[in-house]
Amino acid sequence: MSDTEATNEGGWPAADKSSDDSMSEVAEEIAREGVGKLGTNERQNYKYRKLDDILDCVGPIMARHKLAMTIECSDHKSEWRSTKAGGDMEFATLIGKFTYRYKVQTRVTTTFGRASDSADKATNKAMAFATKYAHVITFNIPVIGSDDADASGEETVAKVAQQQPGKMPQKLIEKMIAEFGTQTDIDKLRNNVSVALSMAQNEYADAAAHKTLKDAANKRLAELVAAKKQQVQA
């Protein structure tokens, strides 16, 4: 490396493009190729985009554009429930934090994963589904239909109850609000907020939690907008 060559964090050569550029190129290429709805739910009679098809599409494209990804999981929960057929089903949930990296520059997407399995694969499936939706959100991949976990249409005794209004854990709400407070990028904040509000509405049907999260998000957004205006005026 010459004395005049620009460097970035850790002594790396300055990137010829940003992580946003690399991610935009990946999204553009995915949009050209598309991901077809090749899976079929036989019981409920609809098509959906399979997890493997999304990963098979995104993986090689990310590699071509030198974009790497790592995952950090938290808030893992697992429980066994009885099925209507008389068997047992493990049900797992977790939060996945995905860091997309181009050289030393990063972007983070946070998603919620849940899955069920009659053996011991529920947690692995939940991680995979969280990964699927991290890609979907990050690269704007249109997905219509249901998760692969519903491909068989298997129902648990508690499944109907899950669709009724519930209560989002306070610890989870506080964690999400704290994550809002750490965001300094408006686009990343909006991404986190979208995941949080979707979870409150779709996973828990908790209107109070949805309002609490939305109010906290709007407060943080106002802070970032004000800070940006001050930087422009300075």
Q: Considering the domain 9-157, what is its CATH architecture?
A: 2-Layer Sandwich (3.30)
Q: 3-class secondary structure for the chain?
A: CCCCCCECHHHCECCCCCHHHHHHHHHHHHHHHCCCCCEEECCCCEEECCHHHHHHHHHHHHHHCCCEEEEEEEEEEEEEEEECCCCEEEEEEEEEEEEEEECCEEEEEEEEEEEEECCCCHHHHHHHHHHHHHHHHHHCCCCCCCCHHHCCCCCECCHHHHCCCCCCCHHHHHHHHHHHHHCCCHHHHHHHHHHHHHHHHHHCCCHHHHHHHHHHHHHHHHHHHHHHHHHHHC
Tens digit of pLDDT for each residue in 123-177? 988 898 888 888 888 888 765 444 444 444 444 433 433 434 467 888 888 888 9
Q: Write down the domain spans for the chain.
A: 9-157, 165-234
**pLDDT, position 159:** 40
Local confidence band at 10 (pLDDT 50, 70, 90 cut-offs) = very low
CA distance readout (Å), 42 to 105, 112, 192, 234: 43, 26, 34, 61
Instruction: Check whether 222 has a pLDDT greater than 60.
Output: yes
Please give the biggest Cα pair distance in the chain.
71
The number of residues making up the chain comes to 234
pLDDT (average), residues 26-30: 87
pLDDT (average), residues 183-208: 77
CA atoms of 1 and 180, how far apart (whole Å):
39
pTM of the model: 0.54
Instruction: Check whether 72 has a pLDDT greater than 90.
Output: yes
- Burial environment of residue 118 by CB neighbours within 10 A (0 to 12, 13 to 18, 19 or more): middle
Which tokens hold the place of 177? 């609000």
